[in-house]
Structure 1
């Protein structure tokens, strides 16, 4: 994954909506999209950015979000999850599991370990219900489990059949174990059950999926709805009502010993409710969360409150649904919904220090076009937020990004940048770099070089905005380092020997300046053999090919287009990337390539690609995502594409294409103003997808991009559509900003560079441009 959608969605949709239409937007949201076929979404009950995320967990090989619709049985019901991630599952801690009764009334005949209780977790997919804030499922045992949440607390409602499958009177048993989704529990998990009240408390140490170290999580669970018969603890497959406390080890076989506690009830005639809360700081805080947020065990009230919160959160964007297929409306709003699942708001739950400042975790979706493959992509997040209006704490943020660029951490696998000595002295990251100051996986030299270059551009943007002219010039200059890996005579052949017909690709380079080689098509959509992730033997690009990374110069498309032979040849190359299925729309590096025709003066072709990929690869069924959602990345792509304004992350640039709806209204959460996009000649069959002309607040507007003031100032963009490509947005003056100059365009001889850079950088900006053109090779 490569680059960032960053803070754009936060700025557009994070606030409470103003009073608008009262129709229920949530009817268009389907949380189950992406719950099979590797979408890895979390489809359960959550508030927007909520810490509590309750759902049924299955034992699928693709259960990173907890629940799947792929035939795998349920193993428990837990209330901590991520959404859409790849890799190993995370969270899913302290799962509950219900039985109507134990055979013969013998607790030791109930199945306690996760692996064996899966035999009782089968379900019919038609029994599953999911809507924002609430999730429900009926197991084949006849037990119905419904769940809803507050910020830190989940409320589960278990409804039992009148008789057990054994024909016995119901004596429901609900267990709670000390495992998580990936079975990562370490030593010394603890559990305790109160004999009188049935309250279960405990803690355990677990491993994260995308981080180092470990974490301790605490929980507190209470029950309501039936009189307690007895309770106790279980270890492995045996249980006891006489033991109420236990500390358990992991064991020596690589799989944590099953262990936990249970409560058994005298009757299952009425639903039994289980209230469970977690905390990263203490059991006491977990219990405070539970008692303050759900004091009355009122399931319907909590569910209604969750629904109201989602209605307010989703109400910030309204579309005209006239004539549009319902599946496209569902696709749009479900995409927006998924961007609000992560990151989780853990404010007040930081175990490292006490603070009331906002504290969020699981920022996977921020990295829409790149989970860090080597770059310090927080730079892009911070720059994007800063230039779009979130300027609080700029000094601390700026100090952080400069430190990333200048100080190499000892362990740069998960923070900062590695190879900084080479970066500063050579202007690229060498393949097989000699790096003795810090350590990480010595792969991805191409993608790291390209990302470092863009990271530096983002620092330069922040420097300019905060008046740091010297830093601006320094980092703008190093943002051109991407050219140091461009090999102009490099060819590209298919594995059968067929020439792709294109020359000039990025290639790895050694410390001594000589060239290495990686087939430009390795790690492409056609490559079923290469290992392209974070393995020690991984390639010099991360999760994508040199072919695709060949377009990854987000800040200087003008110079890249010149290197590729001009706009026509650039379009040919971009067409080849898509037409030959070299790109894979199910992974983030492809996202911006759909819209890069704008930079070549062909915005109509961006619209054509956008209307092909949606709905061809993005549907509204459980298997409707082409790849894992990455905590809203796929949802972001769908929402922005259908809205007709796709951001170049880290820049104040939105690329304009025709929306999928006759009108779109977006309420800005910071200013309260409503931005509007209206289409004239809108055609829901999507023959008229090409912009013929446009006005902005009633004034002719020919640029094929727009900046963030469109949202903050509540402007109106009116697009007149037609069924063929026009000359709108094609002139050089209409193209998006680029650090270098646009050249070789037949419709104008003027430039459309980052004019704002000239304002403060003066002659230095000219030197940067000259250097980028190759005129200052000895610089």
Structure 2
């Protein structure tokens, strides 16, 4: 019945009045959309329906937690339909199968995460009588007539006979509301504070609304002010006849309200059928005045179609850096959706004039001299593939990322471990800002203060902060134990962290970070540091029990933790099992092979992992595992397993991702693997090769060079490599260097149906 009613409304109202109009805005651009048409913004917004996800019993692990974000790549603010209230941790503002629509949210949700939204606000159009309680004004959410692209969103609200459209620039949004019949129309503007904080003010004379939603920390410093707010400045195109403020269902004629639960402002209009309201919204993390300047600079009074076209063009250029040619349209949709998801974060944090909130500051504004400042670095995840993808495609942007991390370290005193909401968090484990900076440095990305970068990375690796700073989230968790024993013993439970214990995983990841820093130390002539760090890079051996052939918990006296369950979640392992984490030695696979007893043992252990279905693609520490067969006599098994993962762990539609996308890491894995190479150790500049998914792909680099990747298959089912050539020369190893890729040319994979077995 509801579907029939919606169709009637659509036919009588939307088609008659607006079909031609929307054709001009959207369909008029269709011919120029070579790549954006493949993007599915709803992918990952409901429980996974991929083949691999069906054996996962915990349904929460089947949520990718992405949103249908409307914004250019790496924007300050993403604009999304809102089907979920609050900024609560692990609760995305949008889920595809939710039944209620609460407006368009200006969101700072970290795509594919289990963190928090922050500093957001929502604009909801309604008609008829004024309603200010979310339970009262929520509209039934239907996908009928809905359109979602990276540059544009449209939905009709049958309850209110309103058509709502949205588009965005880097820091601003434009929402257009059209009446499908004559009625009273209201705009509800709500800062989304869960803390009963915030402020909103109406200037009736100027037709402007402004306010802010204070940001609070989670993890270390949970609940404390983050030192900045999400500010907004809104201008509407039509004079409103009435206005006021509210908190929940309580309405007031006052024109401002502050620090009340469920606070907001309403604007009232009288609209005839076909009349529109354009809502121009600027955002900032420094001030209302800056939000206004951002709006005036980026959008001003531009038409919706103009901004849609601009943002389309930005995405076309960005997605078009990789041109895929293949008859399989489904795989192209999955690929370009992955490339879209891999370009959401880190988040732009500075205003158009260079102003940004000081890291871990107290509402202090800093100004950049050049470049842009970024935050929301999901570092436990993205250093593996998402940030290396940026280094490959957009090295200038990667340089801004590295410079932003250095600025954070200078302003806060310590290089942050996992900087989000512009503050220290100490979330997750490892010290992977070091891994990323080292990776960028080794690829020649060095347009930041290298000496300061090294000083800050070294400080994390060699020093323990004082107790107050440590409690605030600065420094490596458990660093004193790590330096004393060469591993973190079971006695150190890491009490001052969100992730407590997890001693073995921390040891393994710190060993990788020590190796990463060692590569920079060597290049800078820091010989003593280099020797110490390279010795520490072997600390993974201290938690490897050769009798078991796996990593295990270990006490300070050297004895091993018992009992040992290799395939169970153990307290000394982060989000995984000892068997899974044993393979996390990306910088020294030959050393791991020696510990295990030879290449054949490594191969057998990999075989066992996959046979037991212990490989878990939905979490990052295992993302390098399928490529480790390249270090054995059976690299064809890498080609087999990667091909299987591409087919089983990714699909299309709202359930198209198997697990949390984690700021684009899951998606970046797909992009790399589908192209035929992956950075098992991104610090090393080497990529492990596998079989490409597509017939042809052309990568355009910012140095003007292009790399054509061609796949010549013996038959449609061919996935095994018989020969790989780069510019006519055969590659004798199963790897390729970063410089070889960006130099350009032609990389050809010759594939056959059966593997070349030793």
Is TM-score (shorter-chain normalized) higher than 0.5? yes
Q: Report what 1:499 is aligned to.
A: none
CA contact (8 A) 1:444 1:540 kept: yes
Residue 211 of structure 1: CA displacement? Answer: 6.3
1:545 equivalent in alignment to 2:577: yes
Aligned partner of residue 125 in structure 1, secondary structure: coil
Q: 2:367 aligns with which of 333, 355, 365?
A: 355
Q: 1:645 and 1:139 mapped to 2: Cα distance?
A: 45
Q: 1:444 and 1:196 mapped to 2: Cα distance?
A: 58
Q: Report what 2:317 is aligned to.
A: 312
Q: Report what 1:381 is aligned to.
A: 436
Q: Report what 2:406 is aligned to.
A: none
Q: Report what 1:614 is aligned to.
A: 646
Q: 1:28 aligns with which of 17, 25, 38?
A: 38
CA contact (8 A) 1:691 1:719 kept: yes
Residue 540 of structure 1: CA displacement? Answer: 1.0
CA contact (8 A) 2:43 2:653 kept: yes
CA contact (8 A) 2:76 2:348 kept: yes
Matches within 5 A, 1:659-678: 659-669=692-702, 671-678=703-710
Q: 1:218 and 1:518 mapped to 2: Cα distance?
A: 53
CA contact (8 A) 1:280 1:351 kept: yes
Q: 1:159 aligns with which of 175, 178, 184?
A: 178
Q: 1:36 and 1:233 mapped to 2: Cα distance?
A: 34
Aligned partner of residue 174 in structure 1, secondary structure: strand
Q: 2:714 and 2:441 mapped to 1: Cα distance?
A: 35
Q: 1:304 to 1:208 in 2, by over 3 A?
A: farther
**Structure with more of its chain in helix, by fraction:** 2
Residue 602 of structure 1: CA displacement? Answer: 2.1
Q: Report what 1:763 is aligned to.
A: none
Matches within 5 A, 1:54-203: 54-59=79-84, 64-91=91-118, 93-102=120-129, 107=130, 110=131, 112-117=132-137, 120-141=138-159, 142-162=161-181, 169-180=182-193, 183=194, 185=195, 187=197, 189-203=198-212
Q: Deviations over 1:505-560 (max 9, x none)?
A: 21112223222236444555xxxxx7xxxxxxxx1111111110010111111121
Q: 2:89 and 2:499 mapped to 1: Cα distance?
A: 26
Q: Report what 1:216 is aligned to.
A: 229
Q: 1:128 and 1:66 mapped to 2: Cα distance?
A: 18
Q: 1:561 aligns with which of 574, 590, 593?
A: 593
Residue 710 of structure 1: CA displacement? Answer: 2.0
1:333 equivalent in alignment to 2:336: yes
Q: 1:719 and 1:366 mapped to 2: Cα distance?
A: 32
Q: 1:71 and 1:419 mapped to 2: Cα distance?
A: 42
Q: 2:379 and 2:175 mapped to 1: Cα distance?
A: 28
CA contact (8 A) 1:376 1:452 kept: yes
CA contact (8 A) 1:594 1:606 kept: yes
Aligned partner of residue 716 in structure 1, secondary structure: strand
CA contact (8 A) 1:202 1:219 kept: yes
Aligned partner of residue 300 in structure 1, secondary structure: helix
CA contact (8 A) 1:176 1:261 kept: yes
Structure 2: 5+ residue stretches without partners: 1-30, 48-62, 359-364, 385-417, 419-426
Q: 1:210 and 1:298 mapped to 2: Cα distance?
A: 42
Q: Report what 1:345 is aligned to.
A: 348
Q: Report what 1:368 is aligned to.
A: 382
Q: 1:63 to 1:97 in 2, by over 3 A?
A: farther
Aligned partner of residue 441 in structure 2, secondary structure: helix
Residue 609 of structure 1: CA displacement? Answer: 0.4
Q: Report what 1:286 is aligned to.
A: 291
Residue 441 of structure 1: CA displacement? Answer: 5.1
1:234 equivalent in alignment to 2:254: no
Q: 1:426 aligns with which of 485, 491, 515?
A: 485
Q: Report what 1:51 is aligned to.
A: 76
Q: Report what 2:301 is aligned to.
A: 296
Aligned partner of residue 636 in structure 2, secondary structure: helix
Q: 2:728 aligns with which of 695, 698, 707?
A: 698
Q: 2:561 and 2:266 mapped to 1: Cα distance?
A: 60
CA contact (8 A) 2:636 2:721 kept: yes
Q: 2:379 and 2:103 mapped to 1: Cα distance?
A: 26
Matches within 5 A, 1:448-467: 448-467=506-525
Q: Report what 1:468 is aligned to.
A: 526
Residue 435 of structure 1: CA displacement? Answer: 7.6
CA contact (8 A) 1:278 1:286 kept: yes
Q: 2:494 and 2:501 mapped to 1: Cα distance?
A: 12
Structure 1: 5+ residue stretches without partners: 1-20, 163-168, 250-256, 490-502, 525-529, 531-538, 731-779
Which structure is larger by alpha-carbon Rg, 1 or 2? 1
Q: 2:259 aligns with which of 240, 243, 248?
A: 248
Q: Deviations over 1:290-320 (max 9, x none)?
A: 1222221410101100001111111111122
Aligned length in residues: 648
Aligned partner of residue 171 in structure 1, secondary structure: strand
1:510 equivalent in alignment to 2:510: no
Aligned partner of residue 331 in structure 2, secondary structure: helix
Matches within 5 A, 1:392-411: 392-393=447-448, 394-409=450-465, 410-411=469-470
Q: 1:594 and 1:376 mapped to 2: Cα distance?
A: 24
Residue 197 of structure 1: CA displacement? Answer: 3.0
CA contact (8 A) 1:75 1:115 kept: no
Normalised by the length of structure 2, the TM-score is 0.81
Greater CA drift, 441-450 or 90-99 = 90-99
Q: 1:159 and 1:518 mapped to 2: Cα distance?
A: 66
Residue 587 of structure 1: CA displacement? Answer: 1.3
Aligned partner of residue 367 in structure 2, secondary structure: coil
CA contact (8 A) 1:523 1:543 kept: no
CA contact (8 A) 2:567 2:614 kept: no
Q: Report what 1:16 is aligned to.
A: none
Residue 268 of structure 1: CA displacement? Answer: 4.7
Q: 1:520 to 1:46 in 2, by over 3 A?
A: farther
Residue 366 of structure 1: CA displacement? Answer: 7.3
Q: 1:191 and 1:244 mapped to 2: Cα distance?
A: 8
Residue 75 of structure 1: CA displacement? Answer: 2.0
Q: Report what 1:253 is aligned to.
A: none
Aligned partner of residue 460 in structure 2, secondary structure: helix
Residue 635 of structure 1: CA displacement? Answer: 0.8
CA contact (8 A) 1:198 1:231 kept: no
Q: 1:236 to 1:518 in 2, by over 3 A?
A: farther
CA contact (8 A) 1:100 1:161 kept: no
Residue 642 of structure 1: CA displacement? Answer: 0.5
Normalised by the length of structure 1, the TM-score is 0.79
